[in-house]
Amino acid sequence: MKETWRWYGPLDQVQLSEIRQTGAAGIVTALHEIPYGEVWQRNSISKRRDKIKAAGFEWDVVESLPLHEDIKRGTGDLASLFANYRQSMANLAAEGIHTVCYNFMPLLDWTRTELKSPVANGGTCLRFSAFRMAAFEICMLDRAEAENDYPAEVIAKAHEWYVASSDEDQKELLNSIMSGMPGAYDRYDIEGLQRALYTYRGMNAADIRANYQRFLHEVVPTAEDLGLRLCVHPDDPPRDILGLPRIVSDADDIAWIMNAYDAQANGLTLCSGSLGANPENDVVEIARKHSDRVHFAHLRNVRNDPDGSFEEAEHLRGDTDIPALCRILLEEEKTRKSAERRDWQIPFRPDHGHELLSDPQKKTFPGYPLIGRLRGLAEIRGVLHALSA
Examine the domain organization and report whether 173 and 132 are in the same domain.
yes
How wide is the angle at C-alpha 380 spanned by C-alphas 9 and 177, nearest 5°?
Answer: 50
How wide is the angle at C-alpha 332 spanned by C-alphas 326 and 338, nearest 5°?
Answer: 140
pLDDT, tens digit, 9 for 90 and up, residues 115-127: 999 999 899 999 9
Which of 36, 351, 354, 359 is labelled catalytic?
Answer: 351
Task: Give SS3 for 304.
Answer: strand
Report the 10 Å Cβ neighbour count for 388.
11
Examine the domain organization and report whether 269 and 374 are in the same domain.
yes
pLDDT of 303 above 90 = yes
Largest interatomic CA distance in the chain: 62
Examine the domain organization and report whether 103 and 165 are in the same domain.
no
Percentage with pLDDT > 90 across the chain: 95
Examine the domain organization and report whether 325 and 369 are in the same domain.
yes
pLDDT, tens digit, 9 for 90 and up, residues 201-229: 999 999 999 999 999 999 999 999 999 99
Whether 30 is in a domain gets the answer yes
pLDDT of 80 above 80 = yes
Question: Distance between CA 229 and CA 249 in Å, rounded?
Answer: 21
Q: Which burial class, exposed, middle or buried, applies to 297 when counting CB atoms under 10 A from its CB (0-12, 13-18, 19+)?
A: buried
Considering its fold, how many domains does the chain have in total? 2
Annotated active-site residue 261? The verdict is no
- The CATH number that applies at residue 54 is 3.20.20.150
pLDDT, tens digit, 9 for 90 and up, residues 14-73: 999 999 999 999 999 999 999 999 999 999 999 999 999 999 999 999 999 999 999 999
Q: Quick check: 249 and 283 in contact, CB under 8 A? A: no
Burial 61-99 (b: 16+ CB within 10 A, else e): bbbbbbbbbbbbbeeeebeebbebbbbbbbbbbebebbb
Average pLDDT of the residues in 378-383: 98
* Mean pLDDT score across all residues of the chain: 96
Average pLDDT of the residues in 164-174: 98
Which of 295, 315, 352, 354 is labelled catalytic?
Answer: 352
Residue 36, domain extent: 2-107+203-301+320-388
Annotated active-site residue 298? The verdict is yes
Q: How confident is the model at residue 184 (pLDDT cuts 50, 70, 90)?
A: low
Examine the domain organization and report whether 259 and 327 are in the same domain.
yes
pLDDT of 183 above 70 = no
Q: How confident is the model at residue 187 (pLDDT cuts 50, 70, 90)?
A: confident
Average pLDDT of the residues in 85-94: 98
| Confidence (pLDDT) at 157 | 98
Average pLDDT of the residues in 264-288: 98
Which of 68, 271, 290, 359 is labelled catalytic?
Answer: 271
pLDDT of 353 above 70 = yes
Annotated active-site residue 149? The verdict is no
Q: Where among 198, 230, 255 does a domain terminate?
A: 198
| Confidence (pLDDT) at 180 | 80
Q: Which amino acid is at 112?
A: R
pLDDT of 261 above 60 = yes
Which of 68, 98, 233, 315 is labelled catalytic?
Answer: 233
- CA 248 distance to own-chain centroid: 11
Q: Where among 150, 175, 198 does a domain terminate?
A: 198
Examine the domain organization and report whether 289 and 380 are in the same domain.
yes
| Confidence (pLDDT) at 100 | 98
Annotated active-site residue 352? The verdict is yes
Question: Distance between CA 249 and CA 349 in Å, rounded?
Answer: 20
Whether 91 is in a domain gets the answer yes
Annotated active-site residue 271? The verdict is yes
| Confidence (pLDDT) at 69 | 95
Examine the domain organization and report whether 254 and 382 are in the same domain.
yes
Whether 313 is in a domain gets the answer no
Q: How confident is the model at residue 182 (pLDDT cuts 50, 70, 90)?
A: low
pLDDT of 253 above 90 = yes
Average pLDDT of the residues in 255-271: 98
Report the sign of the C-alpha dihedral through residues 132, 138, 144, 145, in that order.
Answer: positive
Examine the domain organization and report whether 326 and 214 are in the same domain.
yes
Which of 68, 98, 298, 315 is labelled catalytic?
Answer: 298
Examine the domain organization and report whether 23 and 72 are in the same domain.
yes
Average pLDDT of the residues in 188-192: 93
Whether 328 is in a domain gets the answer yes
Calculated CA dihedral for residues 178, 24, 26, 286, nearest 10 degrees: -70
Out of 60-74, 95-109, 175-189, 215-229, least confident range: 175-189
Which of 150, 200, 261, 368 is labelled catalytic?
Answer: 368
Annotated active-site residue 36? The verdict is no
